[in-house]
């Protein structure tokens, strides 16, 4: 404990100006995303752009313009992707500025709040509970200053700091107050090298990204041998006509490349980030959107999450004939003794003025670990005594009569602090020894008006909510019960919890409310839930939540919380809106569920393209399609519908096994589509009265009808707009077949009735087989998800549309997709995660 004394005044204005002129400033730029050059490079220099670009150049050299349309689609996607990411970058950069740390610096004896960039070498930076240290320095003042350096050392136990001790950036204050003088700023400071920089835009491991990366890696391995086989077979069947052989080879290779899958995944992530950003939700790590969608358990800190940060003094109950005036004066002094008062102390400060005639000799700020604050006061009569203010069940021995009243008040959802006096020094091993209870301070918490609705939402989504608080268990249970949380009537005092992980997991799984939880216990409870296979999200706003936030699968911090919590969380609710969580969950579910849906479309195309290429090589026949035909098929059965399906609301909770589930349908469906189209092709070739154009047209019709059937299956469950989407794609193909100049442009002419109707018959047979596959391969009990999210009453549906994806797609267009449905023809747009989502394969 440090005695109060003369405060240093810090640098003068002249000294600050001198250091700025010497360049001794904290000039590390705060970046929430990549630079413009990095964005352009990442969107242009991808493996698939190289493949498609090469094929585009080849076709432009040997073939007509309409066979090179696929190349212009890639150019459009890349350009739109750059624009989209720059928009996302601007949004995120603005949010990062809002969410960055603002240290308090003492200059000319005055405390000022500055940005990190305004710090200079030698500045005196003030510290309080929850503050994050952003530059290196040396302690100048310390009053019970405890610092968590776990981000640097991995050691969770806080370190007690004294004047002269070093202070490293990346640490944060958990108790006490003080000040340090900066010794390293700018790029020399350790903060410039920290991966935990709060506003950095990072991409960490995710199942969605790794799954797509695995799929693309295998496809890449197939491209070269298939291309060689195709070019050789086409040279053979076309009598060494190199130009025609190249066109047919390109037509076989281009559909194998699911470049649109990467682009649509990128678009879905980027739009999700921008949507959440406009709701004042800062996503500091992109896969956090995906991660929160996989969550099945949410651990909530009561204070600041279910309740608002502010509190009010409801009553002062005197014990044992205590003088009310004395109690009020002491409370006023204890409130002001802490330079960074928490919500409870602030309520006391607002209620009671500082008493005259009392002198503060020594102070111990509130610590969440010991759960009390204290001070040594010299009373007007000259007598010195230690006064403590904190949790009654911590300051008093079990069974004390005053605890009965405390429990009764706590059962009403009220928070109670005990004021006591003792002759034991603050430095003693147990300052509470000999404590005489004098008064109970009854505080009323401000419950968030949206808390009950948000908890109800999680209940409907089968997401278990666990309230984990450092407050009295009975009081926490009363607050949770008032919000309708199931199991709140049976709160658990964490001091009775077992230390064994297995036993702890049993208790945590069975109960919903826990009180008197220490920071380490919060961390242990998260680990216990994870040991049972749960995907855990942790929300909080105080320093006591940091350990659990770091270890949870997803950490969610309140914007008004401590710098430390914002530094370690993946998601920051800048407007402190607990009701924003359903929107975050909804965005994650929309991204994952829709990308899985759209991935089926792309991979069916890849499978039937590989099968057709192998069949052509083996049978030594001309490849049935030209590149222009692949462009029509891809646009109408994948590109346009994939755009709308990727933006649609989707409320199905994410599940593990993305690759397995996608391939389970895509492989057999692709085999059926490839076999049906090749069978039609062989039958058409057997009719020598028709030529190659007629044979190709019948085959294209067959493949389109089968692919449209696949789309109809993937679009389930049906809503009005999904039915309209499928019908519109069929109508689009009919227009191509009916309009003469489109027939000529795409070289599609149906001749006679035998081959076209044969193709229709084969398509119907293939459709029946697809239905059988769809029903047989779905997991037992697996039902289509309701595409419309169910928000908590009074909140906005997470997907952004109450009726369905028609409005969802429009919402997506408003959110920056540059042209809405027009972009769907090109397969989507690329954003921040776009160039990286393919991992190594995409670069």
Catalytic residue ranges = 301
Distances (CA, A) of 183 to 61, 123, 170, 606: 63, 9, 15, 59
726, 712 Cβ separation under 8 angstroms: yes
User: b vs e for 511-549, b when ≥16 Cβ sit within 10 Å of the residue's Cβ?
Assistant: bbbbbbbbbebbbbbbbbbbeeebbbbbbbbbbbbbbbb
Three-state secondary structure call for residue 114: coil
Radius of gyration from C-alpha coordinates of the chain = 33
Tally of CA atoms within 13 A in the half-sphere of 415 that contains its CB: 27
Six-digit token string for 444: 């009323």
> Running DSSP on this structure, what letter comes out for residue 496?
G
Distances (CA, A) of 495 to 283, 388, 472, 498, 521: 35, 21, 11, 9, 9
Three-state secondary structure call for residue 148: strand
Longest dimension (CA), the chain: 119
Angle of helix 658-686 relative to helix 580-619, nearest 10 degrees, comes to: 40
Residue 556, strand partner residues = 539, 571
Residues with Cβ within 8 Å of residue 21, at least 6 apart in sequence: none
* Distance, CA of 796 to CA of 805 (rounded, Å): 14
Q: Where are the alpha helices (DSSP H) in 63-149?
A: 69-99
Three-state secondary structure call for residue 520: helix
Angle of helix 580-619 relative to helix 692-714, nearest 10 degrees, comes to: 150
289, 283 Cβ separation under 8 angstroms: yes
Phi and psi angles of residue 764, each rounded to the nearest 5 degrees, phi first: -65, -40
138, 122 Cβ separation under 8 angstroms: no
Among left, alpha and beta (phi > 0; psi -120 to 50; other), residue 546 is alpha
């Amino acid at each position: 404990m440090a005695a109060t004394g003369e405060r240093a005044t810090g640098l003068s204005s002249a000294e600050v100006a001198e250091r700025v002129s010497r360049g001794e400033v904290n000039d590390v730029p705060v970046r929430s995303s990549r630079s413009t050059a990095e964005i352009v490079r990442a969107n242009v220099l991808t493996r698939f752009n190289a493949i498609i670009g090469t094929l585009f150049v080849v076709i432009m050299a040997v073939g007509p313009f309409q066979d090179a349309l696929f190349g212009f689609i890639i150019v459009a996607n890349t350009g739109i992707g750059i624009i989209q990411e720059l928009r996302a970058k601007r949004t995120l950069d603005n949010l990062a500025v809002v969410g960055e740390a603002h240290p308090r610096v003492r200059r000319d004896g005055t405390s000022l709040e500055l940005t990190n960039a305004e710090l200079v070498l030698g500045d005196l930076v003030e510290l309080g509970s929850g503050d994050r240290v952003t530059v290196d320095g040396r302690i100048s003042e310390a009053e019970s200053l405890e610092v968590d350096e776990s981000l640097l050392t991995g050691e969770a136990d806080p370190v007690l700091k004294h004047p002269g001790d070093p202070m490293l950036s990346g640490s944060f204050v958990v108790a006490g107050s003080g000040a340090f003088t900066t010794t390293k700023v700018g790029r020399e400071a350790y903060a410039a090298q920290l991966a935990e920089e709060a506003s950095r835009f990072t991409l960490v491991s995710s199942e969605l990204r790794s799954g797509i990366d695995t799929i693309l890696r295998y496809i890449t391995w197939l491209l070269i041998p298939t291309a060689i086989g195709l070019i050789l077979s086409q040279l053979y069947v076309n009598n060494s006509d190199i130009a025609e052989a190249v066109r047919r080879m390109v037509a076989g290779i281009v559909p194998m490349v699911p470049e649109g899958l990467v682009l649509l995944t990128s678009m879905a992530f980027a739009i999700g980030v921008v949507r959440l950003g406009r709701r004042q939700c800062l996503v500091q790590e992109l896969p956090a959107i995906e991660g929160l969608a996989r969550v099945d358990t949410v651990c909530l800190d009561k204070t600041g999450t279910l309740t608002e940060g502010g509190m009010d003094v409801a009553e002062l109950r005197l014990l044992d004939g205590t003088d009310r005036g004395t109690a009020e004066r002491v409370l006023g002094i204890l409130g002001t003794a802490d330079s960074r008062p928490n919500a409870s102390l602030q309520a006391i400060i607002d209620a009671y003025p500082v008493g005259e005639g009392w002198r503060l000799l020594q102070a111990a700020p509130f610590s969440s670990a010991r759960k009390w604050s204290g001070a040594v006061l010299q009373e007007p009569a000259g007598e010195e005594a230690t006064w403590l203010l904190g949790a009654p069940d911590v300051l008093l021995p079990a069974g004390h009569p005053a605890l009965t009243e405390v429990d009764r008040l706590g059962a009403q959802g009220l928070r109670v602090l005990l004021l006591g006096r003792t002759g034991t020094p603050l430095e003693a091993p147990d300052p509470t020894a000999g404590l005489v209870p004098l008064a109970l301070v009854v505080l009323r918490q401000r419950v968030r008006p949206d808390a009950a609705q948000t908890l109800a939402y999680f209940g409907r989504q089968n997401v278990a909510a666990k309230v984990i608080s450092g407050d009295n268990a009975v009081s926490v249970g009363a607050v949770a019960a008032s919000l309708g949380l199931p199991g709140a009537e049976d709160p658990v005092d964490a001091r009775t919890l077992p230390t064994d992980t297995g036993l702890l997991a049993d208790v945590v799984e069975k109960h919903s409310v826990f009180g008197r939880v220490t920071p380490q216990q919060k961390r242990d409870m998260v680990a216990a839930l994870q040991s049972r296979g749960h995907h855990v999200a942790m929300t909080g706003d105080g320093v006591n939540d940091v350990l659990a936030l770091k270890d949870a699968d997803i950490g969610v911090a309140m914007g008004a919380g401590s710098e430390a919590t914002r530094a370690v969380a993946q998601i920051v609710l800048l407007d402190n809106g607990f009701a924003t969580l359903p929107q975050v969950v909804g965005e994650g579910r929309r991204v994952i569920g829709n990308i899985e849906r759209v991935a089926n479309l792309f991979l069916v195309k890849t499978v039937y393209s590989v099968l057709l290429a192998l069949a052509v090589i083996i049978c030594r026949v001309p490849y049935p399609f030209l590149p222009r035909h692949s462009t029509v098929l891809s646009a109408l059965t994948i590109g346009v519908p994939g755009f709308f399906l990727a933006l649609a609301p989707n409320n199905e909770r994410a599940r593990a096994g993305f690759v397995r589930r996608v391939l389970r349908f895509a492989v057999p469906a692709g085999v059926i589509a490839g076999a049906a189209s090749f069978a039609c092709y062989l039958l058409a070739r057997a009719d020598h009265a028709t030529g190659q154009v007629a044979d190709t047209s019948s085959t294209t019709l067959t493949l389109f009808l089968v692919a449209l059937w696949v789309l109809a299956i993937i679009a389930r469950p049906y809503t009005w707009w999904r039915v309209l989407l499928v019908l519109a794609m069929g109508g689009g193909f009919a227009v191509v077949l009916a309009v003469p100049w489109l027939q000529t442009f795409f070289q599609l002419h149906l001749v006679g009735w035998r081959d076209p109707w044969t193709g229709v018959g084969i398509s119907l047979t293939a459709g029946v087989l697809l239905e059988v596959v769809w029903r047989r391969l779905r997991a037992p009990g697996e039902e289509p998800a309701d595409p419309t999210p169910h928000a908590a009453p009074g909140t906005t549906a997470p997907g952004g549309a109450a009726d369905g994806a028609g409005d969802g797609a429009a919402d997506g267009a408003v959110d920056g997709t540059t042209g809405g449905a027009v972009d769907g023809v090109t397969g989507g747009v690329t954003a921040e995660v776009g160039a990286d989502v393919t991992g190594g394969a995409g670069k």
